[in-house]
Structure 1
Amino acid sequence: MSFLVAVVTAAISLLLPNYYRSTTVFVAANPNLARPEIFFGKNNLGADLYGSDTDIDRILAIAESNELIDHLVDSFDLYTHYRINAQNPKASYRVRMRFRKLYEVKKTKFNVLELSVEDRDPELAAAIANAARELVNLIGEGLVKSGQKATLKSYEANILNKSAQVIVLGDSLAKIRARFQIYNTAAQSEDLTEQLVETQSFFYRQKGRLESMRANPRISRDSVAYTEALVNGLEQEMDSINLKMSLLNEGQVLLSVLETQYFSANGQLGEDLERAKLLQAAYSAVVPSIILVEAAEVPVVKIRPKRSILVITAGMLAFLMSVLAILLFHAYRNIEWRLIFKER
Structure 2
Amino acid sequence: MGNKKKSSFSFESDNIFFYIIRRWRFFAAVVIAAVLVSSIVSLLIPPRYKSTVILFPAASVPVSQILLAPGYSGSRVGITSFGEEEEAEQVLQILNSEVIRDAVVKQFNLMEHYGIDTSSRTKRTQLLGEYKKNFSFRRTEFLSIEISVLDKDRQMAADIANYVASLIDSVMNGMKRARAVKAYEIVAREYEDLQKHVNMLQDSVEYMRKMGIPDYGTQIEVLTDQYAQALIKGNSAAARTLKEKLDLFNQFGSRYIALRTNLDLETRQLNELRNRYIQAKVEAEQDLPNKFIVDSAVPAEKKSKPVRWLIVVVSTFSAFIFALIALLFFENLWKKIRREI
Query: Under a length normalisation based on structure 1, what TM-score does the superposition of the two structures give?
Result: 0.75
More displaced stretch, 244-253 vs 296-305? 244-253
- C-alpha distance in 2, partners of 1:111/1:160? 45
- 2:94 is aligned with 1:62: yes
- C-alpha distance in 1, partners of 2:102/2:156? 16
- Aligned twin of 2:166: 134
- C-alpha distance in 1, partners of 2:120/2:32? 45
- C-alpha distance in 1, partners of 2:89/2:70? 28
Cα RMSD between the aligned structures? 3.5
Q: CA deviation at 1:47?
A: 2.9
- C-alpha distance in 1, partners of 2:84/2:330? 64
- C-alpha distance in 1, partners of 2:331/2:278? 90
Q: For the structure 1 residues 255 and 309, does the alpha-carbon distance in structure 2 shift closer, same or farther, using more than 3 Å as the test?
A: same
- C-alpha distance in 1, partners of 2:197/2:329? 97
| 8 Å Cα contact 1:70-1:96 kept in structure 2 | no
- Aligned twin of 1:183: 214
- C-alpha distance in 1, partners of 2:227/2:69? 57
5 Å-filtered alignment, 1:189-204, equals: 189-195=220-226, 198=229, 202=232
- C-alpha distance in 1, partners of 2:268/2:337? 107
SS in 2 for 1:83: coil
- C-alpha distance in 1, partners of 2:282/2:37? 67
Q: Cα deviation per residue 1:150-206 (whole Å; 9 max; x = unaligned)?
A: 333233212211122113333554677789x74311222211342365467x39xxx
- C-alpha distance in 2, partners of 1:167/1:41? 26
| 8 Å Cα contact 1:39-1:282 kept in structure 2 | no
- C-alpha distance in 2, partners of 1:44/1:178? 43
Opposite residue 214 of structure 2, the aligned amino acid is Y
Q: What is the number of equivalent residue pairs in this alignment?
A: 308
- Aligned twin of 1:165: 197
5 Å-filtered alignment, 1:69-80, equals: 69-80=101-112
Q: For the structure 1 residues 323 and 94, does the alpha-carbon distance in structure 2 shift closer, same or farther, using more than 3 Å as the test?
A: closer
Q: For the structure 1 residues 39 and 171, does the alpha-carbon distance in structure 2 shift closer, same or farther, using more than 3 Å as the test?
A: closer
| 8 Å Cα contact 2:223-2:246 kept in structure 1 | yes
Q: CA deviation at 1:337?
A: 6.5
- Aligned twin of 1:214: none
Opposite residue 46 of structure 2, the aligned amino acid is P
- 2:289 is aligned with 1:255: no
Opposite residue 216 of structure 2, the aligned amino acid is T
- C-alpha distance in 1, partners of 2:129/2:71? 46
Query: Under a length normalisation based on structure 2, what TM-score does the superposition of the two structures give?
Result: 0.76
| Structure 2 gap ranges (5+) | 1-29
| 8 Å Cα contact 1:38-1:47 kept in structure 2 | no
| 8 Å Cα contact 2:84-2:143 kept in structure 1 | no
Q: CA deviation at 1:278?
A: 5.6
Opposite residue 67 of structure 1, the aligned amino acid is V
Q: CA deviation at 1:7?
A: 2.0
- C-alpha distance in 2, partners of 1:198/1:36? 61
- Aligned twin of 2:301: 300
| 8 Å Cα contact 1:26-1:293 kept in structure 2 | yes
Give the greater-gyration-radius structure (CA): 1
Q: CA deviation at 1:76?
A: 1.4
Q: For the structure 1 residues 334 and 83, does the alpha-carbon distance in structure 2 shift closer, same or farther, using more than 3 Å as the test?
A: closer
Opposite residue 29 of structure 1, the aligned amino acid is A
More displaced stretch, 288-297 vs 6-15? 6-15
Q: Cα deviation per residue 1:80-121 (whole Å; 9 max; x = unaligned)?
A: 211123344553453243223211111111110000100111
| 8 Å Cα contact 1:69-1:96 kept in structure 2 | no
1:108 pairs with one of 140, 153, 173: 140
Q: What percentage of aligned pairs have identical amino acids?
A: 23
Opposite residue 319 of structure 1, the aligned amino acid is F
- C-alpha distance in 1, partners of 2:87/2:221? 64
- 2:41 is aligned with 1:12: yes
